[in-house]
Amino acid sequence: MNMGKSFGFIALFLFMLPNMGWTKQQCQSYLNKFRQVQALQRQGHSNKQARTLASREQKARDQWWQCKQGKLKPKSKRKVSHKKSQPNTPRVYHDPQAKPLTSYTNEVVIKGAFSGKKQQDWLDFYQPLAKCKRPRSTQEFAYCMEERRRQQQVFEQQYQK
């Protein structure tokens, strides 16, 4: 009878041994995710990002621990795609010797409203409002553009006198 119990324990141990390694291997992706979030936490970030990372870490730790305890199914390696299959269309490959459809230039040209001494006088005259230095909405931006246009007209009238 004693030999039967020991045989039963050995059989049970041998049965569970491969499953322990399998579980560790299957839960490795959860452990890697957990460690990845911890590595992100060690880097500099804002208070809001810290709270987000803390919740991500908690979730990743819980998932890894549940997997390790056998309470969570291991991640499947295959992703299911629900896209409709597209009809076979001929692929168009780039021909390096073909002429481009449009020509692109890398030049950026910035022109001022005026040139020469008049431009310098305009820069001395024009003082944007404080809220126009960094407009926070499109309405403020539109107002600032109109204000600039109005000041430009005033400048031109005064400059000709």
Residue 58 pLDDT more than 90? Answer: yes
pLDDT of residue 87: 66
Residue 14 pLDDT more than 90? Answer: no
CB atoms within 10 A of CB 119: 13
Whether the CB-CB separation of 17 and 30 falls below 8 Å is answered with no
pLDDT of residue 137: 92
Average pLDDT of 36-53? 86
Distance between the two ends of the chain, CA-based, in angstroms? 120
pLDDT of residue 69: 85
| % of residues, the chain, pLDDT over 70 | 62
Angle, CA of 64, 67 and 70, to the nearest 5°:
155
The C-alpha atoms of residue 54 and residue 113 are separated, in whole angstroms, by: 52
pLDDT of residue 44: 78
The C-alpha atoms of residue 130 and residue 135 are separated, in whole angstroms, by: 9
pLDDT of residue 140: 92
Hey, what amino acid is at 130?
A
Where do the domains of the chain lie? 2-68, 117-160
Q: Tell me the pLDDT tens digit for each residue of 75-132.
A: 565 666 666 666 676 666 666 676 666 666 667 666 777 788 888 888 888 888 888 8
- For residue 30, how far is the Cα from the chain centroid? 22
